[in-house]
Amino acid sequence: MSSMVDVRKQAVTGLVPPQQGEALIRVAWPAVTAIPPVATLGRKLICSIILAPLGWGLMLPFYFKKILPFIATRYTLTNRRIMIQRGLKPKASAEVALTDIDEVRVIPDGNSEFFRASTVEVLSKGQVKLTLPGVPEPEAFKHAIVNACMAWVPGREKTWLTFVPAKA
């Protein structure tokens, strides 16, 4: 794969045609909800006044786990693909090209509303090709993927993409 385009040389982030280079559009770091048992117990403890510090203490190592240099995980959307990257020098451990994406779904769970994070599934040919657990602001990330597909995948029928107009 080619290297990323230097974003400092872009007038607007992500406005590099895929033919010229791969440009970063959005990065999301997984929330604690990526580990459901910890998130559920942490949420229950935080909702009680007395046990809230214990809940924060329980979730603290899992928060730092996501940003530690050697095991850090991030979800990256570019003008060519969406991928899960891991490690100090981010390398894609799983990816799906934008041309292969048929549908993007947000799968909420019991912790989604409290932590404002959910699982995002990327479907291709009727199968789940990529699962992104614990995506913060999942609807916004889903719309970023959909917008990237609409912008950078030429000549494809976009019937699965729904446009919801803002109400006046």
CATH of the domain at 126: 2.30.29
- The whole-angstrom separation of Cα 23 and Cα 52 is 41
CA of 133: how far to CAs of 17, 18, 120, 130, in Å? 29, 27, 6, 10
The structural domain count of the chain equals 1
- Mean pLDDT of the 123-129 span: 88
Asked if residue 143 is part of any domain, the answer here is yes
Asked if residue 41 is part of any domain, the answer here is yes
Residue from 137, 64, 128 nearest 102 by CA: 128
The pLDDT of residue 139 is 93
- pLDDT category of residue 105 using cuts at 50, 70 and 90: very high
Asked if residue 36 is part of any domain, the answer here is yes
Tokens of 165: 């107009």
What radius of gyration, in Å, describes the C-alpha atoms of the chain?
A: 18
pLDDT at position 132 over 90: yes
| Contact (Cβ atoms closer than 8 angstroms) between residue 115 and residue 31 | yes
- The whole-angstrom separation of Cα 145 and Cα 25 is 9
Q: pTM of the full predicted structure?
A: 0.79
Asked if residue 162 is part of any domain, the answer here is no
- The whole-angstrom separation of Cα 164 and Cα 19 is 30
- The whole-angstrom separation of Cα 58 and Cα 121 is 28
Asked if residue 85 is part of any domain, the answer here is yes
- Mean pLDDT of the 39-51 span: 89
Could you list the residue range(s) of the whole structural domain that residue 133 is in?
Answer: 21-152
Q: Mean pLDDT across the chain, nearest whole number?
A: 81
pLDDT digits (tens, 9 = 90+) for 77-97: 988 899 999 887 778 888 999
Tokens of 86: 């891991």
